[in-house]
Amino acid sequence: MAAVIKTTHPGACPHDCPDTCAMVFEVENGKLAGVTGNAEHPMTRGGLCVKLKDYEKRHYHPERVLYPLRRTGPKGSKQFERISWDEALAEIVSRWQAIIAEYGAEAIIPYSYLGHQGLVHGLNGGDAFFNRLGATVCERTFCGEGSATAWLLTNGPSGGLDPESFVHAKYIVIWACNSVSTNLHHWHFVVEARKRGAKVVVIDAYASKTAKQADWHIAPRPGTDGALAMAMIHTIIEEDLIDRDYVANYTVGYEELAERARTRTPEWAAEITGIAAEDIRTLAREYATTKPAAMRIGVALERHYGGGQTIRAVCCLPALTGAWRDVGGGIYQMPVWEHPYKFDQICRPDLIPKGTRVVNNLQIGRALTGELPLDPPIKSMMCWNSNPVTQAPETDKIVQGLLREDLFLVSAEHFISDTAAYADIILPASMGAEMEDIILSWGHFYLTYNAKCVESPGEAVPNNEIFRRLAARLGFEEEQFKWSDAECLEHYIDWNSPACEGIDLAYLRKHGYARLKIGTPNTRAPHRQGNFPTPSGKCEFKSESADRGNFVAGPFRQMYDGFQPGEPLDTLPDYVPSRETAATNPELARKYPLNIISPKSHGFLNSCYANMEQKIRGQGEQFVLINAVDADARGIRDGDKVRVFNDRGGFEGDARITDDVNPGIVVATLGYWRQLNKGTVNIISSAEFVNMGHAPTFSDNLVQVEAVAHSV
């Protein structure tokens, strides 16, 4: 018998998650045989989540796309034939050239997200190519752009509180974040802090896995957190719990904020949020007087019409109380701002032809169906690293658009996803262990390296190689389109920045990861003496920049000049009600009385893994959590198949009657595939934006629920 050759290599989880785990790839005879979490990495600590722990099975899944495919049946029928790379590239280029000749390059739109988070193969990996082509710029605001805009207005592009510093906290507020499912490798620090005496408060619209672990779970009605935050501000000011010195030296607009908060009493907020006024006071007092006070805010805080304003209100709290003074005090939102990634070099916004139009990714259904009037219309879309048919709102419109005979859809994928199912050409993409990259992290302060350690199966190639091949066929001469992946890495990080002192690519190749040189978790207090990277250098309760108009400030967004500043924003934070509530739209609420939230599934990563049998077994089939009050009123029994619907469409799931949700609210987690289920939750989601940063409104949707079949 031939000897088995075993080697290990540094890996990095490429998925869209704040944890960006450092992994160890185990290779046997040229194949990925297993993965483990890197035991030395302070966040990963040797453990991987339920999704990643058998990552090799995803690499060698029997349904993986291994060769270029051309559609042979009707759109969406999933009938494809194998073709060669040469045929695939020739067809794409000739179709695009014909479209460009007739309609101009803006008739082509790229569509990507963080399906792969690499600097080379990730979200922005195709930007330079499509900018050079002159395609429509796709504005990608799937995640965190409202939060980022609000954060920038208040704190500037600061990395904020170090997730590892939470061990020093004595009061922890986790706000609209389901850490146990979505930020698992931060949870160690919360548990350690609790051992050292910290109180853990979770503010979540339902009893999530994280809320169940809390010392205190506060459950506001979805989309009302802004009222809660404003009433906390009111209480902190009224009871004189502010840090006067901090407010005087390091903040702007205190008088105006105090005036705004004067009428935002706990009694006022109690009506809106459903939380007792005395509880709001207790929360405000405890938060203001227990030091260090750490906060973790999740993306769900931005996901209703007033989401941006909510986050601005929350961002005022640690400056009012001086929580930023302490190691372990402040807010952990998106440490990505501290990373020396060179997005201008990656994306090359300088290649965008002047005046190129911008279309937002959340409104792709409207764009493809013509509801959003576009001249020229979109005639071709290329999708990679994203699966809008499950993940983007108004899904039925997206499908309707993708069914257009005159739309040429190219998809680069691992599987025939719900989006790839409608493609004219599918290109096989490489997976994690098959390509070199540095995976960006938006949830900690480490650079994390991923080695190529196995060959791609079949004829799959990494995303960047796809763009290299297309660029070569189109005759693009820029050097960047000829760089190897390793050369890209040399150019995509500012290795000379102080944060990279002592770190280079060779170091990462050897060690796998490195902490940025920005201070240690035991000493770092970035805003102890103000130092906010805002125009005033202070924490801006009141922001003059807001007056210049709505903008999109996401860290992964390339800068382009096609974005028109929107309506002026309020210069101060406030509670702004949701679009779909009984108060703001009573007629709609009579028809559709239940507020749905659709957070992430514990067992899937967005829609990734939701096609793998063992992962579906772990996560369970699509369920709909509903309170007994609402179930009884509709004759729904536990386990019944129910349909959840509104004017946008509907989907089915299994009813689970539970006190985990309050009456008036239903929960259906995200990621389930349309081709394996009767509809998906985003069919009911609206593509209207949050009033800041063009963020999605996934927590701002009304529905009705009815039984379709009783369980036996």
Ligand X SMILES: Nc1nc2c(c(=O)[nH]1)N[C@H]1C(S)=C(S)[C@@H](COP(=O)(O)OP(=O)(O)OC[C@H]3O[C@@H](n4cnc5c(=O)[nH]c(N)nc54)[C@H](O)[C@@H]3O)O[C@H]1N2
Q: Is 235 in the site for ligand X (CB under 6 A)?
A: no
Q: Which parts of 307-336 interact with ligand X (CB under 6 A)?
A: none
Q: Is 391 in the site for ligand X (CB under 6 A)?
A: yes
Nearest-angstrom CA–CA distance, 184 and 178: 9
Of 142 and 623, the one with the shorter C-beta distance to ligand X is 142
Shortest Cβ 299–Mo ion spacing (Å)? 6
Stretch that binds ligand X, among 161-169, 331-339, 383-391, 481-489 (CB under 6 A): 383-391
Q: Which helix (H) or strand (E) holds 225?
A: helix 225-238
Beta bridge partners of 411: 383, 426
Of 143 and 237, the one with the shorter C-beta distance to Mo ion is 143
CA diameter of the chain: 81
Q: Is 190 in the site for ligand X (CB under 6 A)?
A: no
Residue choice 348, 542, 602, 643 for contact with ligand X (CB under 6 A): 602
From the list ligand X, Mo ion, none, which binds 480 (C-beta under 5 to 8 Å, kind-based)? none
Nearest-angstrom CA–CA distance, 131 and 4: 47
Shortest Cβ 78–Mo ion spacing (Å)? 27
From the list Mo ion, ligand X, none, which binds 492 (C-beta under 5 to 8 Å, kind-based)? none
Residue choice 11, 37, 42, 115 for contact with ligand X (CB under 6 A): 115
Query: Strand (E) positions, 398-541?
Result: 408-413, 425-428, 437-439, 446-450, 513-515, 539-540
Residue choice 429, 516, 661, 705 for contact with ligand X (CB under 6 A): 429
Buried b (16+ CB within 10 A) or exposed e, 418-449: bbbbbbbbbbbbbbbbbbbbbbbbbbbbbbbb
Of 143 and 440, the one with the shorter C-beta distance to Mo ion is 143
From the list Mo ion, ligand X, none, which binds 467 (C-beta under 5 to 8 Å, kind-based)? none
Stretch that binds Mo ion, among 136-144, 154-162, 188-196, 387-395 (CB under 5 A): 136-144
Q: Is 143 in the site for Mo ion (CB under 5 A)?
A: yes
Question: Is the bond preceding residue 292 a cis peptide, omega within 30 degrees?
Answer: yes
Q: Are 186 and 521 in contact (CB under 8 A)?
A: no
Assign 172 to helix, strand or coil. Answer: strand
Q: Which helix (H) or strand (E) holds 492?
A: helix 485-492
Shortest Cβ 250–ligand X spacing (Å)? 28
Q: State in Å, rounded, how far the first CA of the chain is from the last one.
A: 55
Q: Is 177 in the site for Mo ion (CB under 5 A)?
A: no
Q: Which parts of 270-289 interact with ligand X (CB under 6 A)?
A: none
Q: Is 599 in the site for ligand X (CB under 6 A)?
A: yes
Q: Are 682 and 693 in contact (CB under 8 A)?
A: no
Shortest Cβ 183–ligand X spacing (Å)? 6
Shortest Cβ 129–ligand X spacing (Å)? 13
Nearest-angstrom CA–CA distance, 447 and 340: 10
Of 254 and 673, the one with the shorter C-beta distance to ligand X is 673
DSSP secondary structure code for residue 176 in this structure: S
| DSSP secondary structure string for all residues of 124-137 | TTTHHHHHHHTPPE
Instruction: Please identify which residue in the block is written with the tokens 């009573």.
Output: 586
DSSP secondary structure code for residue 11 in this structure: E
Q: Are 581 and 589 in contact (CB under 8 A)?
A: yes
Q: Which parts of 310-369 interact with Mo ion (CB under 5 A)?
A: none
Q: And the tokens for 443?
A: 């949830």
Interface size with ligand X, residues (CB under 6 A):
60
Instruction: Please identify which residue in the block is written with the tokens 């695939």.
Output: 88
Stretch that binds ligand X, among 249-257, 294-302, 336-344, 468-476 (CB under 6 A): 294-302
From the list ligand X, Mo ion, none, which binds 27 (C-beta under 5 to 8 Å, kind-based)? none
From the list Mo ion, ligand X, none, which binds 429 (C-beta under 5 to 8 Å, kind-based)? ligand X
Length of the chain: 712
Q: Which parts of 4-33 interact with ligand X (CB under 6 A)?
A: 16-17
Q: Is 165 in the site for ligand X (CB under 6 A)?
A: no
Of 61 and 511, the one with the shorter C-beta distance to ligand X is 61
From the list Mo ion, ligand X, none, which binds 287 (C-beta under 5 to 8 Å, kind-based)? none
Q: Are 326 and 289 in contact (CB under 8 A)?
A: no
Buried b (16+ CB within 10 A) or exposed e, 403-417: ebeebbbbbbbbbbb
- Applying CB under 6 A, the residues found at the interface with ligand X are 16-17, 113-116, 121, 142-143, 176-178, 181-182, 203-206, 208, 220, 222-223, 225, 298-300, 303-304, 384-388, 390-391, 412-415, 417, 429, 463, 597-602, 604-608, 670-671, 681-682, 685, 698-699
